[in-house]
Structure 1
């Protein structure tokens, strides 16, 4: 076990004045932070935007957008007016409380505005990752019979309306006079005044789809009560203060981008940075310097890429504003933590949570020493156990199922139209949520990830269901059978590897490899495309059901690597 060699950097963290290490914590104490605690009127959009205006902070910068082409900001007052305009357009087209409104846009303030416009009138927002292709978009909208979609012209070729019968209205953000309504053009003529649609804490807020090892992605519904934990983890884990400038690099199409790129920072009233460009060490250091970022949340893959690309580059930039760095999405390598500490003089604080949990549960808090290789300890108010196959607690240092007592505010409301899937997260009863991760806890309560208990692939922090990739590969005319696994990779954590049984008549294996990659990339999503393909005469399967034995494919790959 590696020693706790990286102590806290300084004092003055939010959590120091609000909680004593080792003391119990009651989530109900957070309620006083919200206006609904006294008014009884609940809405996430109001708490993120309008509340700050009503409290006299309307001229503070809410969003700071930077790209290679442009740079601009929205104050909280400007953001409120624009959200109201867009919401009035949605109302005019019939959007009502409980409707699903999907947002399929690049990283841009319009993505935030669209999401909040839907939420403010009581709709359930479904952010879609900008790299999703036609099949991924169709599956998600069809699953919950989504009626509305906000996108841009360049994405329309991935929106096959003929195969999405529920989709009644598609808006574009581009100012066109075509058959598709332009929400930006119509918003210019709409009123800046709007009566917020008040909801209950248990009403639906957003839906995110998470891939599984079998079947299509499942829709995880979260409720407005999530704001309780999202606000508090923003204060304690992200350590957000009013004067902070905060940058979460994730796209809102992923749950991190929604929770900690949209909701948590605005709940805490801080300036949120949005970067519209592609990754490069130079571009990211320019954002950190130009926006004067003080708190930065990204993924281990990004930090590993910075490490590989940026030897010495950081010295050319003023990073003096940066004080707190965090990571999420996949295990954070100890060597990256040491590199960052030596390079930037700052710790990277690993955090752990899932789409289904709605907010952070385990983290390296800024007040605690970091044990490189550990994702930290449970945050206040969270109880963790490591359970064996019978649901019994295991002692320290023994690997088992990571389980969390199901009493936290941001736990998922439901799995859309799939109560059996929801129940599968609680195999030992409703008290314990099982994450699907294997882990152990040391004698001091630090949690160490050891792998997945299913076949899920985690590549660059993006969860990929092997079944979805296998199904897409089977649509290619050359493929008779397919099996997909996650293969360990030093940069991305895992990559997608496909084993293919080819139909008779296909000879050009090299050309077929590239064709299969391109097929998955264009039909499903780029991050799902196999980076390695191995042709095989026969897939290992169970004798009775004929199910592909992915564990045998992993053994084969390990032997041949």
Structure 2
């Protein structure tokens, strides 16, 4: 079933969108011109932390609310841009006092607390490299990343240190200092009290000269096998974060912005720290984990205007009976964005119906550093589409062949999504793995590994990961298409689809279905879903087998782990589970 386009919503037009005419914005785009909207360091160069906080702290927005932190216990902490500049300067001075130099790695393993944001910005001010870790990682994935990333400093809490790090110390000889954000006193000569160090440090710090190509961020991303890959990003990435904050998130000076992603993931740093601060808006941070009632209350009480969340969270909200707008005042909201896993068309339509706003999907990767393809405030939405490329980004559908890369110009033909290299937030390396990095670029294109298609009007549509594609009876089936069709059935909350080896047809399509509350997993429902899918997809594409499960395995950033579904179905090794949501 296809969904009709959703016209641009009037809420998004309460303020004039930065991007009103897409083609005009693309034609007039210049990264160099965009840089003129940033300040640069007094002596030249570009430092991401300076642009994010110091230029605001030294200007008219010094006393504007930068960070509102909502604690699990109901406490609230407000910090202005001047406050953020001083706190991050103290952290930078702490690093300098410990002898942490340019390019050396500072890791953070902690929840969403203010000290995490001070550490991120202070590390960049020192021209050291900030490396966030998700606080729910177990000891082994923590060790893998600290070891592979050459960690010199780790910022964490007492509980996380004792539970996940203390036993690793002998395996991490390069890790010189551990800074405990909640310890009043030092534990020993290398496990130190961060509050004590911060109190003794000056709140003035002069950022040293910073080349735009200086290494700034290290984000780890897991593959299906082997050690996690460390994607290197540079200070120049500020331009992409600023551009996407303007064109996609459509941030304006008085916005209250909430990104629900944890800074342990690239979304939580690119859009939970840098994009909102670069635009000088109020950035809302909630310490607590997902809770539907709490989230709706935050949207209402904090008068959130722009909300950036994940498809997993949206699908959880969709499972809850009732009408959110009947119970909560969501009138301040004007834009909702989603990223992580492609957003099913039904979720976009649900947003329009239940929240009063369509949900704007977008596409990017850890390697791209920022949003590359998006649905924009002043454009119609085609549910299920990832949208159109950002101004300054050249995207194409390509095919690999013996003669190299062939660009597919015909509409609605599937191929690999590729980007022309050179955008500011493009990763510059996989740390310690030059060969793997080189394989990402062929014939002047960055190859994403995602399969997609482009329609006649230039909208891009996600098909699936290249290694998820199912080959059945000569057909190439993208699991996302099947999952989206199943989710249109009123009983289905979520679905994950894999290819299962079959001697006759190569692979058969198998679906794993999570039901909404109040629906029983019966043989009758299985038959009903099979018929439902066949009507929408045809017999060649519809699942041949359907299994009911309580929950789908997902990464902690919300992506369905189809390769894990397949491994468990076939009794194969499960590979790297460091990012599994509930391992």
Q: Identify the TM-score tier after normalising by the shorter chain.
A: 0.7 to 0.9
Whether contact under 8 Å (1:374, 1:447) holds in the other structure is: yes
Find the residue that maps to 2:130 and give its secondary structure.
strand
Q: 5+ unaligned residues in a row in structure 2: which ranges?
A: 470-478, 484-508, 517-551, 576-583
1:18 CA drift (Å) = 9.4
Q: 1:174 to 1:436 in 2, by over 3 A?
A: same
The aligned runs of 1:381-460 (5 Å cut-off) are: 381-390=392-401, 391-394=405-408, 395-426=410-441, 428-429=442-443, 431-454=444-467
Whether contact under 8 Å (1:153, 1:174) holds in the other structure is: yes
Whether contact under 8 Å (2:303, 2:332) holds in the other structure is: yes
1:3 CA drift (Å) = 5.7
1:389 CA drift (Å) = 2.4
Choose from 156, 160, 164 the match for 1:158.
164
1:323 maps to which residue?
Answer: 334
In the alignment, the residues of structure 2 paired with residue 534 and residue 441 of structure 1 have an alpha-carbon distance, to the nearest angstrom, of 34
Choose from 288, 294, 297 the match for 1:286.
297
Figure out how many residues of one structure are paired with residues of the other and give that number. 487
How far does the alpha carbon of each residue in 1:158-214 deviate from its partner, in whole angstroms, 9 at most, with x for none?
A: 111111111111110012322221112221222111111221000001000111123
2:351 equivalent to 1:340: yes
TM-score, normalization by structure 1: 0.81
Find the residue that maps to 1:63 and give its secondary structure.
strand
2:115 equivalent to 1:115: no
Choose from 49, 61, 67 the match for 1:57.
61
Q: 1:535 to 1:211 in 2, by over 3 A?
A: closer
1:252 maps to which residue?
Answer: 263
Find the residue that maps to 1:250 and give its secondary structure.
coil
TM-score, normalization by structure 2: 0.78
In the alignment, the residues of structure 2 paired with residue 384 and residue 18 of structure 1 have an alpha-carbon distance, to the nearest angstrom, of 15
2:522 maps to which residue?
Answer: none
In the alignment, the residues of structure 1 paired with residue 297 and residue 467 of structure 2 have an alpha-carbon distance, to the nearest angstrom, of 40
1:309 CA drift (Å) = 2.0
Q: 5+ unaligned residues in a row in structure 1: which ranges?
A: 460-484, 493-516, 540-547, 551-561
How far does the alpha carbon of each residue in 1:372-425 deviate from its partner, in whole angstroms, 9 at most, with x for none?
A: 011111121111111112221222111111111113111111111111111111
1:556 maps to which residue?
Answer: none
In the alignment, the residues of structure 1 paired with residue 344 and residue 326 of structure 2 have an alpha-carbon distance, to the nearest angstrom, of 23
In the alignment, the residues of structure 2 paired with residue 325 and residue 491 of structure 1 have an alpha-carbon distance, to the nearest angstrom, of 25
How far does the alpha carbon of each residue in 1:128-170 deviate from its partner, in whole angstroms, 9 at most, with x for none?
A: 0111110111001111221110000111121111111111111
How far does the alpha carbon of each residue in 1:470-508 deviate from its partner, in whole angstroms, 9 at most, with x for none?
A: xxxxxxxxxxxxxxx99755699xxxxxxxxxxxxxxxx
Choose from 355, 367, 370 the match for 2:378.
367
In the alignment, the residues of structure 2 paired with residue 99 and residue 39 of structure 1 have an alpha-carbon distance, to the nearest angstrom, of 23
In the alignment, the residues of structure 1 paired with residue 248 and residue 309 of structure 2 have an alpha-carbon distance, to the nearest angstrom, of 14
In the alignment, the residues of structure 1 paired with residue 513 and residue 423 of structure 2 have an alpha-carbon distance, to the nearest angstrom, of 34
1:195 maps to which residue?
Answer: 206
Runs (4+) of structure 1 moved beyond 4 Å? 455-459, 485-492, 525-536
Q: 1:52 to 1:174 in 2, by over 3 A?
A: same
Q: Which segment is superposed worse, 406-415 or 246-255?
A: 406-415
Whether contact under 8 Å (1:341, 1:347) holds in the other structure is: yes
CA RMSD between the two structures:
3.1
2:195 equivalent to 1:170: no
How far does the alpha carbon of each residue in 1:34-89 deviate from its partner, in whole angstroms, 9 at most, with x for none?
A: 11287514211111111001112111000001133111110111111111112211
Q: Which segment is superposed worse, 34-43 or 258-267?
A: 34-43
How far does the alpha carbon of each residue in 1:298-323 deviate from its partner, in whole angstroms, 9 at most, with x for none?
A: 01110110111252244222211111
1:104 maps to which residue?
Answer: 109
Find the residue that maps to 2:63 and give its secondary structure.
coil
Q: 1:526 to 1:414 in 2, by over 3 A?
A: closer
In the alignment, the residues of structure 1 paired with residue 31 and residue 150 of structure 2 have an alpha-carbon distance, to the nearest angstrom, of 34
2:242 equivalent to 1:231: yes
1:535 CA drift (Å) = 7.9
Q: 1:549 to 1:142 in 2, by over 3 A?
A: closer
1:339 CA drift (Å) = 1.0
Choose from 277, 281, 295 the match for 1:266.
277
Find the residue that maps to 2:20 and give its secondary structure.
helix
Whether contact under 8 Å (1:105, 1:129) holds in the other structure is: yes
In the alignment, the residues of structure 1 paired with residue 568 and residue 278 of structure 2 have an alpha-carbon distance, to the nearest angstrom, of 48
In the alignment, the residues of structure 2 paired with residue 338 and residue 526 of structure 1 have an alpha-carbon distance, to the nearest angstrom, of 20
1:275 maps to which residue?
Answer: 286
